Amino acid sequence: MQHYPVFLNTRAARIVLSGGADAAIAKLRLLLKTEADLAVFAPEAAPEILAWAEAGALTLHRRALRLDDLAGAALVYAADEDAAQDSATAALAERAKVLLNIVDNLEASDFITPAIVDRDPVTIAIGTEGAAPVLARQIKADLEARLPAALGLLARIGKAFRPAAESLPVGRARRAFWSDYYTKTGPASLSAGETATKAALKALLAQHRAQAPSEGHVIFAGAGPGDPELLTLKARRALHEADVVIYDRLVSPAILELARREALMLSAGKEGFGASMTQADINALIVAQAGAGAQVVRLKGGDPAVFARLDEEIEACEAHNIAFSIIPGITAASASAAALGQSLTKRGRNTEARLVTGHDMQGYADHDWKSLARPGEVAAIYMGKRAARYIQGRLLMHGAAPNTPVSLVENASLPNQRILATTLAELPAALEAAALSGPALTLLGLAPRNTAAAAPARPQEIAL
Ligand code: SAH
């Protein structure tokens, strides 16, 4: 984001414009909607500008801009449509340290004016950093068509009612009230006039105040393997409605972006090894937030029910009578198999596929190793990088073929996804050479299918 959007308070601000023809008129039409003190400098001005000056909407100076004209100005527009005159304005702006816009010259401007959908006090600004003005216009047209013309009026009535609404508790209760107003009560009552809307708003508040305070609730939601498009619609909605999001380190920033801006975002900072927050701390955090009445989304990478210590967190909720629900997610094994172009089970090859954790394979019994070592077996080994040498040793000892295919998928589903295709015999050496640094899933018994055809275009592939 090269251009950062802000809304400038124009009350008592001085905005200066140099120019008196078409470009100046276009900018002034918008500027006249603000509360700014507008000063226009133009030796010759078009009739519209003269009329605005006469009506007292702006001050017209029939001469070129000078340095002292910029004293105290918040913004200056160079709108002469003449390169020499515009660069003279630019030079003055630089000396006076006033933010400058040169009409139709993005590169030389300090700020740009976005496309605007105006439902004052609701204002939507659309910018494309100059990349696609046509797209900005299209979005503007779509929004103009979608937003009721009365939205501004609804918002003005709502704004005046804000102090009264503060009698509702902060957070969910207050949000639910406003959401009812803007989506139901407000639009429905508006046709009967402004007074009816104000009365309806009062009645709505009374109704909401009578409701019992909301109970906290925890949703254990799967964030999927990383690609935001692999999030379920349900998880997306839960994120959008959450008061508090407690997320694991593996959850990608693009997914966290989907949470409400006002949501409290808490990192549980847990890593596969060396947790920075203990499980007991995380349980306590969930219970404390939900206990205070918050709608908590406990967001976990992949599926919350796969190697994610879900039961411990559920038990903590149960111990405190906190209601919970689970939204499943796409687990790393599914995303990694997809990256290989393979299925986890296949007729005639394997009738079962196992999800295994490399974290405590040391406790695996002999018969487990024996069955994993059988030809055609498929296992998805989570957290398996560190244990690779140990796993290899055990499998070979229990008769696995050295040329058994093993694939590691790092950052499955993300743009930096890498696939390491190797064999059981080569596994430790291949892993060392590849120096994978992201989360990686080991797929025992699977090789990438005809790699060129199956692999997506972006991710890199390394065959060792
Ligand atoms: N609940 C998660 C697993 C958590 S255990 C799930 O269902 O996917 C953490 C391990 O998952 C990592 O060590 C890695 O082995 C695997 N993993 C998670 N995200 C991954 C990804 N995007 N690509 C590859 N492996 C991943």
pLDDT in tens, the chain (464 residues): 899 999 999 998 999 999 999 999 999 999 999 999 999 999 999 999 999 999 999 999 999 999 999 999 999 999 999 999 999 999 999 999 999 999 999 999 999 989 899 888 899 999 988 888 889 889 999 998 888 778 888 999 999 999 999 888 777 788 889 988 988 898 888 888 889 999 999 999 999 888 866 688 999 999 999 999 999 999 999 999 899 999 998 898 999 999 988 889 999 975 544 457 899 999 999 999 999 889 999 999 999 999 999 999 999 999 999 999 999 999 999 999 999 999 999 999 999 999 999 988 888 888 889 999 999 999 999 999 999 999 999 999 999 999 999 999 999 999 999 999 999 999 999 999 999 999 999 999 999 997 544 444 444 555 55
Residue 49 Cβ inside 6 Å of ligand 1? The answer reads no
3 state DSSP class of 218: strand
Taking alpha carbons only, the member of 353, 401, 409, 365 closest to residue 384 is 409
3 state DSSP class of 128: coil
Name the token pair of 55. Answer: 């009506």
Residue 412 Cβ inside 6 Å of ligand 1? The answer reads yes
Catalytic residue flag (residue 243): no
Residue 300 Cβ inside 6 Å of ligand 1? The answer reads yes
Task: Tell me how far the alpha carbon of residue 415 is from its chain's centroid.
Answer: 17
Select which of 270, 300, 311, 346 is catalytic: 270
Residue of 360, 361, 382 to test ligand 1 pocket, by largest number of atoms within 8 Å of CB: 382
**Exposed, middle or buried: residue 326 (CB in 10 Å: 0-12, 13-18, 19+)?**
middle
CA distance 36 to 29: 13
Select which of 69, 80, 86, 248 is catalytic: 248
Residue 411 CA, ligand 1 centroid: distance in Å: 8
CA distance 220 to 238: 10
